Structure formats: structure tokens, C-alpha cells
Chain A
Amino acid sequence: MKVVIVGAGPAGLAAALAARAHGASVTLLDAADEPGGQYWRHLPPERPSANERILHHGWQRFTAMRRALEADAGCEIVMGAQVWAIERSDAPAQARTEAPMPAAPVVVHVLVGPPDGTGRAGRTFRPDALVLATGAHDRTLPFPGWDLPGVFTAGAAQAFAKGERVAVGQRVVIAGAGPFLLPVAASLVATGARVLGVFEASRIAGLVRGWLPKPWQLIGAAKKGGELAGYVGTHLRHRIPYATGRAVIAAHGTDRVEAVTVARVDANWRPVPGTEQRIAADAVCVSHGFTPRLELPIAAGCAISSSRFVEVDEAQQSSVAGVYAAGEITGIGGVDAALVEGELAGHCAAGGSPGDPEVRRAAKARTTFTGFAARIEAAHGIRRGWTAWLDDDTLVCRCEEVPYGRFRETAAQTCGSGLRSMKLTTRAGLGICQGRVCGGTVEELIGGGPETAAGGLLDQRGVAATTDRRPIASPVRLGELAGGIGPTEPTEPHLSKPTVQKGHQ
């Protein structure tokens, strides 16, 4: 069995270990320089720190997983590996000359090397099973001034803190929605910033409905509760004001952020007039949740749910036989859910079953996390009223500099056309990030969104018509693409024997 795993965050690492334990040979691919993903992002090896564990929950677990895989000859870890396309090999029109067909009907196209370098090497994999653990990135809603220097996504601020030990500012405001705001605050405090306040747009009632009905589930079965308690402890120690039902509705400054306006918002996240409060700050970090990275699962043909996650069964297998998914792309559940899902996905991708004794704990824990993502969404999910804080000059799409006023005008002129037409007419979402930042915003401004039952964006073509569909999953140079013609590109054999046999087959 040859298992290819995309993503070396918590889910991918756990999948690699479990697949190895079940006897498969493993290739673990990740675009970053170091394994660990967003969660265990850390200092590069040339600048080691003895204090990683202070900034990282589960640091010992990470180092143990990493060491085990690095010492294992049956696991190839390829860092700097950009999966730029997944091709389906079960295309009906394609000649099926090659026998035998691999189990997973996919061909994984990878470029290895620094993305800004010229000498990336192409590799192509035809694995027996594929595990996708591509994670998520921050979702940030636009607001007036959000394009000023000094405005960061919470994820970027976290990355600076964890990866560079640099605080993004001296006096920082954190705003948005979701439990992620708390660890960002903790990281910033740990790197010496003064956090002026954490402003959570959801209101207390929402939080009560989402989090509090069954707190024992969080504290008892999952470490999430403990983690949360740690963050709350940090908050108390440093006396960071934490307010709910409030949002940063504007950032001000000439060359960079000098102040922000915070206002109360109603249950629908619409700002309440007269409640605006100006706070002097030199940085603001915003996160309104996460967007799962779905381009590779969509390319592989995986069914996507109406709430935009990869649909998986109890073995973490997607709708495509041989293609598994784990971690945030199957639901925003945090690190503990990702570890458990990764373990199950890796074990089953290697030929195991979720009923096997060695994954009993993981299978049981998985049921605990079921519904966790739904509770986060119920408590912190984006509400439609946020568009009221936009003004005509607010950029909807930063890459192509499309202001809200022009976007709205075009929508009116074309009678609120479809997503593809709006993108091509306004250019929103057509820039270098390919809608990764603004895709959700554009979809919501058009008024569609995944929950639209009839018509709207998710018409007959379903998820194929959304901004998450990106057949070219990361930029590729024309020379790299052309260079792949001919026999120069090393192609992995369709079936390869594992280099190490362990466990039962």
C-alpha cells in the first residue's frame, strides 16, 4: 500500500503515523519548510528556542510525532511540496491502458522547492490511497480601513508570534468571532504586546446557546476545555478586556493604523448606531472564522456538504473511494479533533477499519467531536448584518482593488447576476489570491451563499460553481508546466511495496 498524505499539520502527522503503523508506505507532502501546520508553527531549526512549549499546546506530542516519522525509513517527508493539481484518473474519456488501476482514482501533481525559486522539481504520484489534510485559513470580513498597514488577519498575527517571535504591534486590538481570538490574544501577550481588548461579535446569548449547554463535553472528553481554560487564565492574568456583541467596524490612519472604531452589534451583527467608540491602537488583528481549503478535495471529486466541508464516513473516507479527509476541511474542530480524524484516516487509508482495536480510542473520541464544529458555527458563525458596516470605498477584493460601491453598482446594473458573471464583470476574486480572501464575502454580497436552497449560487452545478473550485490549486510557472512534457518528470510507480512492514495487513 502506498499512501500519500497532503498536509503535515496535526491531522496529516497523525495520519502518517497511523498509516505507517498499519504497514503502508507513506509520502507526506507539505508546502511549508517545516512540519506542524498552522497550529504547530514554530521557529526555524537555525533559531531554536527552548520555550516552544510555552507557546504551543501539545508541543511534546508534536515533537514525538515528528521524530517518529523522521526516523522512519518507510515515511518520506517532502517539505516545500506544492500540490498544484489533482487530476482524476477515472475520467470516462481517458484510455485505460494502464493495468492495474490504483485504488484511489487520482493523480497528484506536485512541485517541490521554494515557490519563488526557478528550479522546482515536478513529481507525480498515483497512490493507492490519498489523505487530504489541507486545513483552513482565516476568514476575514472587510471593513473600512481594513487594507491599511497594521491590520492583520489573526492567523498572520499568530504566525508572526509563533514563527518569528514578533508581536505585530505595541497596542493591539483583537476582533472578530470564534474561539480562535483567545489563543491569538495569548500569543500576542506572550510576545510582549499590550492587548487593548478582544471584541467578539457574537453576543452572550449566542455564546450560551452554542457553547454552554454541554460544557462537560468540552472539558471532560476533549482537551478543548482545558485549552480554553488556559486562555481564559492568561486573559485574567493580563487583564485583557473581553467583550461580546462588539465589532471593529473601521480602522483609521493615514499611512498605517492609528485607531479603530469599535461598536456594539445586534444579534445579526448589524452595528448599533451611537455605540461607536474610538480606540487608539497601532495594530488590529481580525478573524471571523475559518475557510477550509477545499480546492484539492473538489479537484479529487469529493462530495462537499452544504456547509462547505468535505463529507466523510466513520473511516474519514470521502465520497471518492480511496480518498480520505481529516482535520479542518471536514469541520472546524480544533487540534484534538484533527489528531483523532487524522489517525483514523491514516489507519483506514492503509487498509484498516475504524473498528480495529488499535484505533478504538480514536473512533470513540471522534464521536465526541461530532457536532463540535456545528456548535462553534451556532455560536460564532457570520451573520448577514455585517454588510451594514461597509462603505462605498471599502475594498471587497484587495487583489483587484474592487470597492464595495462599484461592486454594488454592477450588481444593480446586471440585476444581481451569478457568481461567475459578477467576478468577471467586477474582477472581484480574480486576483492573485484567487478568491481565497474575498470568495466568501463576494458570495455573501451577491446574496447567495451555501444555505440558499433554491437558485442563488448553488444551483444545478453545486459546489463546482463556487469560489472554492480552483483546478490550479497553487500558481505554477508556464516553464514548469511545459517542462513536464516528456520523460524528464519522475513518476512514481502505480503500486509500490512498503519499505517497512509493521502491524497486520
Chain B
Amino acid sequence: MISDIVVVGAGIVGAACARAFAQSGCRVVVLDRDAPASGTSAKGEGNLLVSDKGPGAELRLAQYAASLWPGVAAELAEELGAEFPAIEYERKGGLVVATTGEGARPLLDFAASQRDAGVDARAVSIAEALELEPHLNPDMTAAVHYPDDAQVQPVIATEALLASARNHGADIRPFVAVTGALRDATGRITGVSTTAGAVPAGAVILAAGPWSGEVSAMLGERLPVRPRRGNVLVTTRMPHRVFHKVYDGDYFGATQSSDAALQTSSVVESTAAGTVLIGSSREQVGFDERLRVAALREIAAKALRLFPFLAGASIMRSYGGFRPFMPDHLPVIGADHRTAGLWHASGHEGAGIGLSLATAELLVAEFLGRAAAIDAAPFRPDRASLAPYLDEVA
């Protein structure tokens, strides 16, 4: 049997693509060298954010994604039934806080620019901020409330999308690693060779997250995706005292920088299970999984500036993951302009959970020649901002 589509990677982006293509009537095979949802998708907080994005293409993608999630969450719940664990979609809202005198103005200016781009970004007084988050350190200089920030439990969301894809006929094959490309006489990719034999396909969608650069090279094309490590601390369960996603304003600086040095900014939120997630750091250290205490210490110190009560909270685990970092800070979505048959869905850095659904919709639209909901050109592999990096040695 010839599969129409092979998706490489069973993380949330691959899962969303598998579901969207299967729903469109394509025959879909998903390959992952590991178990589903065991890489980047299992190592993040499950952010569906608009608050951290300035006006531009990524914000438009995030706004589009935010419009898709409520419907997909409801569809998945109905389709998979009560036996399937809930994906914990919650539009809980974000609260971004400036903790220094010089930090207040940039935060409020940033929010104003977002408002112009259609984001619900509400500058609130310190008193209002404390009403939203009573345990927040009152010693803050500015606060902005983003009601549209949401979250999901990313692993359950990935499994739910895969289960739905399976219901629509997709074939999910874990522990099968891609080893190379199958090509026809014209050089067009016609499938992949794997550790479990050849898998022919009309199109290969590369959704391997931070490992996409590696797999792309195996398929014969360079893709400048690099791993960027992030760490999150998890507390033991406690009574619910953090109600939104709460950030310090430094977060913008960290996401926009390409500096390899350690950067941290505070991200604090509760989960449905009662734990508190405290993030996050960003380091470019390759695929180095080893714990770095200095990174954890900085995360901890910054979180305490937001929520002093957390000083007594017990950290029972930390997890670190690798986010797929792009040099021009935009995901790569669409057909490869160099090799026919190869498609990309990678490079979402820390935003892939949220952007997964929108990514899949853009790909399906391009593949089937349908009109897309937003302009996909800024994400295409042939965009001008990416061109200087495509020849760079990986």
C-alpha cells in the first residue's frame, strides 16, 4: 500500500498534522524513533500564548491557533469519550508583571503594540493585579492581563490528537527511525527508508522538532533548526494559590535572543493536578541533558520575586527539554523549495504546543491547494529571512 503522507515525528506537531491530513482523506503513516509524545512535547508547560508575541507573523499564527483550540478541544472530548483522559484545555489567562522601575515602560509599550495587532492586552493597576493573583508580590511596577492565554496538558493533547488521527485511519508506528529518503529519477522524495523497511509516500512531512535538522540532513536537505534547552521545576501538590500564567517581563527578552548563554525569566502556573510549574530557562547547549544547578537556582530566585510564598514549596522534580530554535525566530511550515515531496513543520521553539493546530491547518491548505486562513508566506522555507541560514553548516 502506498501511503499518501508520511509524518516524521509523533510529537504534538506531528500528531496535529496526522489528524488534519487524515481528516482530509489522506492515508497517513506517522513514524517516530521513540514513543509518541516523548520528546519536546513531554518537556514543556503546555502554553497556548499570545502574551509573549509581538506584532508580526508569529502573533498572527498564535491568534489563529488560539481560535482553533476551543473547537478542537471540544471535538476531541466528544470523539474520544469520557474514558480518554481530558486534555485539560483551560483559557486561564496570563498576567505579565514588571518587577523593576525600568521594566514598566517597555512592558506597557509592548502591550499597546499588541493591542494594535488585535490582542486583548489589558494594562491593570497593582490593586487589580493583586485581585487576579492575591499571593503575588505587591512590589511590582506594572502589570498586563491577557485573558486569551490558555494551556493544555501537552502529552495528553498529543495522545488525543494521535488517537483521533488513528480513528480517521492514520497508522502510528513508534520506535521506527527514519534512515534516509526514497527518491524517483527526478530526485523527488517518494518516501523514507526506515529501521523497519521502506515506507513509500507522496509527501514526507518533517515534524521532528529540535531533531528536524538531523532528519532533514538524512533526507538530503539542510534545515537550520537547533536545540535550545529549557528547564522547568515542579513542586509537590499544594492548595491552589496561583490562578493565571504569571510571568515577569523579562520573558520577552529571553524569547527574542539568540545568545547561547543561560537566560531565565520567571513563568509560574498551577496545573490541574495541584502542582506548580516554575520555569524557565533557555540555553543553547546542544542536546546536553545534564542538570545544571546554576540554571535551577536562577529560575528559583526569579520565581520568588513574583511569589514569595513559594519559598517553602518543595521541588520534587525538574525536567529539561529541547525546543526547536530557528535563527530567524519563525517556525518553518510548508513545502521545501529545493526538493519536491519534502514538507516542513518544525522550528516552533517554545510555542509548538499552541501553534501545532495552526501549523497543521496551513500545511493541509497548501497541500490540497485550498485557501489558508492566514498568510503562510512568512513561514515558508524559501522566505528571505531564512535564506542566509540554509547554506550554513549545521
Residues of A that sit less than 8 Å from B by CB: 85, 87-88, 91-94, 107, 109, 118, 299, 301, 400, 409-410, 413-415, 417-421, 424-427, 430-432, 434, 454-455, 459-461, 464-465, 470-472, 475-479, 481-482, 484-485
- For residue B370, CB closer than 8 A to chain A, the reply is no
- Bits for B262-305, please: 1 = Cβ < 8 Å to A, else 0: 00000000000100001000010110111111001110110110
Give min CB distance, B264 to chain A, whole Å: 11
Contacts of B288 on A, CB cut-off 8 Å?
A: 91-93
The residue of chain B having its C-beta at the shortest distance from the C-beta of A455 within the complex is B175
By the criterion CB–CB under 8 Å, are B314 and A481 in contact? no
Is B336 close to A, CB under 8 A?
Answer: no
Is B58 an interface residue when CB atoms closer than 8 A count as contact?
Answer: no
Q: How far is the CA of A75 from the CA of B259 in the complex (A)?
A: 45
Q: How far is the CA of A313 from the CA of B361 in the complex (A)?
A: 55
B235 at the interface (CB under 8 A from A): yes
| B198 interface residue (CB < 8 Å to A) | no
Residue contact A478 to B303, C-beta cutoff 8 Å? yes
Contact among A87, A301, A471, A482 for B311, CB-based, below 8 A: A482
B153 at the A interface (CB under 8 A): yes
Of the stretches B32-40, B48-56, B371-379, the one at the interface is B32-40
Q: Which residue of chain A lies nearest to B303 when distances are taken between CB atoms in the complex?
A: A478
Q: In the complex the two chains form, is B291's CB within 8 Å of A421's CB?
A: no
CB contact between A461 and one of B34, B235, B278, B315 (< 8 Å): that residue: B34
Residues of A within 8 A of B235 (CB): 478
Question: Do residues B310 and A478 form an inter-chain contact, with CB atoms below 8 A?
Answer: yes
CB distance from A104 to the nearest CB of B (A): 15
Q: Quick check: A420 and B316 within 8 Å, CB to CB?
A: no
Whether, in the assembled complex, B72 has its beta carbon less than 8 Å from a beta carbon of chain A, the answer is no
A91–B290 touching, CB < 8 Å: yes
Question: How far, in angstroms, from A118 to B313 measured CA to CA in the complex?
Answer: 11
In the bound complex, CA of A400 to CA of B282 (Å): 30
Chain A: minimal CB distance from B78 (Å): 15
Query: Which of B42, B301, B320 meets A420, CB within 8 Å?
Result: B42
What are 10 contact pairs spanning A and B, CB under 8 A? A85-B293, A420-B35, A420-B42, A421-B38, A424-B37, A459-B35, A465-B38, A471-B319, A482-B301, A484-B293
Residues of chain A contacted by B166 (CB below 8 angstroms): 415
> Which residue in B37, B297, B317 is a CB contact (below 8 Å) of A421?
B37
Interface centre among B83, B313, B315, B320 (most CB of A within 10 A): B315
Listed from nearest, the 6 A-B pairs whose CB atoms lie closest are A418-B35, A479-B311, A481-B300, A424-B155, A482-B300, A93-B285
B312 near A472 with CB under 8 A, answer no
B297 CB contacts on chain A under 8 angstroms: 481-482, 484-485
Instruction: Please tell me if the beta carbons of B286 and A93 are within 8 angstroms of each other in the complex.
Output: yes
List, in ascending order, chain A residues with CB within 8 A of B273's CB. Answer: 400, 427, 430
Known: A417-B159, A478-B300. A434 touches B316 (CB 8 A): yes
In the assembly, what is the distance between CA of A85 and CA of B233, in Å?
A: 14
Asked if B236 is at the interface of the complex by the 8 Å CB criterion, the answer is: yes
Q: How far is the CA of A431 from the CA of B260 in the complex (A)?
A: 34
Residues of B within 8 A of A477 (CB): 311-315
Q: Is the CB of B317 within 8 A of A418?
A: no
Enumerate chain A residues within 8 angstroms of B296, measured Cβ to Cβ.
Answer: 481
Residues from chain B with Cβ under 8 Å of A417 in the complex:
35-37, 159, 174
**In the docked arrangement, what's the CA distance between A431 and B314, Å?**
12
Chain B positions 106 through 124: 1 when the CB is less than 8 Å from some CB of chain A, otherwise 0: 0000000000000000000
The answer to whether residues A425 and B155 also contact, given A418-B34, A478-B313 and a CB cut-off of 8 A, is yes
B301/A485 in contact, CB under 8 A: yes
A250 to chain B, nearest CB (A): 26
Pairwise interchain contact B314-A425, C-beta atoms closer than 8 A: no
> For the complex, is B367 an interface residue (Cβ under 8 Å from A)?
no
Which residues of B sit under 8 angstroms from A455, Cβ to Cβ? 174-175
Contact A475/B159 with A88-B290, A418-B174 known, Cβ cut-off 8 Å: no
Cβ-based interface call for B13 (8 A): no
Min CB–CB distance B353 → chain A (angstroms): 13
- A471 in contact with B318 given A421-B155, A424-B153, A425-B85 (CB within 8 Å): yes
Decide: B38 and A420 in contact? CB cutoff 8 A: yes
Q: B330 near A: Cβ within 8 Å?
A: no
Q: Give the interface size bracket for B toward A.
A: 35 or more
Q: A418 to B35, alpha carbons, bound, how many Å?
A: 5
CB distance from A460 to the nearest CB of B (A): 7
Q: Are B37 and A418 in contact (CB under 8 A)?
A: yes
Using A299-B291, A413-B84, A424-B153 as known contacts, list a sample of 20 further A-B pairs with CB atoms less than 8 Å apart, ordered by residue number in A.
Answer: A94-B292, A400-B273, A410-B85, A413-B80, A414-B163, A415-B163, A415-B166, A417-B35, A420-B38, A421-B37, A421-B159, A424-B42, A432-B316, A471-B291, A471-B318, A472-B317, A478-B233, A478-B310, A484-B297, A485-B297
Write out the residue numbers on chain B whose beta carbons fall within 8 Å of the beta carbon of A431: 237
Closest to B84 in A: A413
B26, CB-defined interface residue at 8 Å: no
Bound state CA distance, A434 and B203, in angstroms?
42
Min Cβ gap A123→B in Å is 13
> Is B104 interfacial (CB 8 A cutoff)?
no
Closest CB of chain B to A31's CB: distance in Å?
Answer: 15
B85 nearest in chain A by CB position: A425
| CB neighbours of A419 from chain B (8 A) | 35, 38
Tell which of A85, A299, A301, A478 has the most Cβ of chain B within 10 Å.
Answer: A478
Q: How far is the CA of A419 from the CA of B314 in the complex (A)?
A: 24
Q: How far is the CB of B151 from the nearest CB of chain A, in Å?
A: 14
Q: Which residues of B contact A91 (CB under 8 A)?
A: 285, 288, 290, 292
Q: How far is the CA of A418 from the CA of B293 in the complex (A)?
A: 28
Chain B residues within an 8 Å CB radius of A107? 293
Q: Hey, which chain B residues are within 8 Å of A420, CB to CB? A: 35, 37-38, 42, 155
CB of B8 within 8 Å of the partner chain: no
Q: A478-B233, A478-B311, A479-B312 are in contact. Are A421 and B80 (CB under 8 A)?
A: no
Q: How long is the Cα–Cα vector from A415 to B159 in the complex, in angstroms?
A: 9
Q: Are A479 and B304 in contact (CB under 8 A)?
A: yes
Q: How far is the CA of A345 from the CA of B192 in the complex (A)?
A: 50
Most buried by A among B36, B83, B85, B298: B85
CA distance A99 to B174 in the complex (A): 46
| Residues of chain A lying within 8 A (CB to CB) of residue B291 | 85, 87, 299, 471-472
Measured between C-beta atoms, what is the minimum distance from B388 to chain A in Å?
25
A400 nearest in chain B by CB position: B273
Quote the shortest CB–CB distance from B209 to chain A (angstroms): 14
Shortest beta-carbon distance, B269 to chain A, in Å?
14
Closest to A414 in B: B159
Residue ID in chain B nearest A479 by CB atoms:
B311
Cα distance A432–B174 when bound, in Å?
30
Q: Is B156 an interface residue (CB 8 A)?
A: yes
Cα–Cα distance between A144 and B7 once the two chains are bound (Å) = 43
Query: Which residue in chain A gives the minimum CB-CB distance to B80?
Result: A413
**B47 CB to nearest chain A CB (Å):** 16
Does B172 count as interface, using CB distance less than 8 angstroms? yes
B162 contacts chain A at the CB level, 8 A cutoff: yes
- Per the 8 Å Cβ criterion, residues 12-38 of B in contact with A are 33-38
Least Cβ–Cβ distance between B210 and chain A, in angstroms: 14
Report if A472-B236 is in contact (Cβ < 8 Å); known contacts: A413-B80, A414-B36, A424-B155: no
* A109 B293 Cβ-Cβ under 8 A: yes
| Chain A, residue nearest B81 (CB) | A413
Least CB distance from A402 to B in Å reads 11
Segment 359-384 of B: residues with Cβ below 8 Å from A: none
Q: Min CB distance, B206 to chain A, in Å?
A: 19
- Distance, CA A174 to CA B288, complexed state (A): 46
Complex CA distance for A426 and B38, rounded to whole angstroms? 14
Which residues of B sit under 8 angstroms from A400, Cβ to Cβ? 273
Encode B317-350 as 1/0 by CB contact (under 8 A) with A: 1111000000000000000000000000000000
